[in-house]
Amino acid sequence: MRKKLNRFQLRTVAAVAASLLMAQAAWAVDPFTVRDIRVEGLQRVEPGTIFASLPFRVGETYSDDKGSTAIRALFGLGLFKDVRLEVSGDVLVVIVEERPTVADVDFVGTKEFDKDVLKKALREIGLADGRPFDKALADKAEQELKRQYINRSMYGAEVITTVTPIERNRVNVTFTVTEGDVAKIKDI
């Protein structure tokens, strides 16, 4: 059974379709020649890092495709929480929000492992002083610490990760460990 749309429904569908097309056109930027590139929001990252990642230079043509490529490249560096491109006339403005940097990694309550050995192991996976903080890496490090305690028959060990923001967009990462007792076989 086919149902016909009444006039109101047709007008509504047409209005929605037209507004979607206009919204898409509003976000689209006509290609233009870039006269200048400005970068806003940098705290520790050098501007050269941004410029080296852009797929266009001053004097070249900017398009939406190149803008999308630039955003992907900048996010791919792993240094930024947010990246936006804005156009002001023929000036391109790159606006970034840097991820916090790890100021210090510390361990509380670890008697079974040497802190320097733990720090070295974390450095190898990318969680170290001076590197951008990544919550996923901190979670991975916490799970790895738990696994190491299990390997030493310390099944009751608990690890809690605390991330403390400090000045200048930095964080301290503290792993607090409650080691518990070593499991022993009492009887077979």
Top-tier CATH class for 101-178: alpha beta
pLDDT classification of 6: cutoffs 50, 70, 90: low
The fourth-level CATH superfamily of domain 28-98 is membrane protein fhac (3.10.20.310)
Question: What are the domain boundaries of the chain?
Answer: 28-98, 101-178
pTM of the predicted protein model: 0.68
Phi, psi (5° rounding) for residue 152? -100, 20
pLDDT classification of 180: cutoffs 50, 70, 90: confident
C-alpha to C-alpha distances, 151 to 26, 118, 154, 174, nearest whole angstrom? 58, 15, 7, 22
In tens, the pLDDT along 62-74 reads 999 999 999 999 9
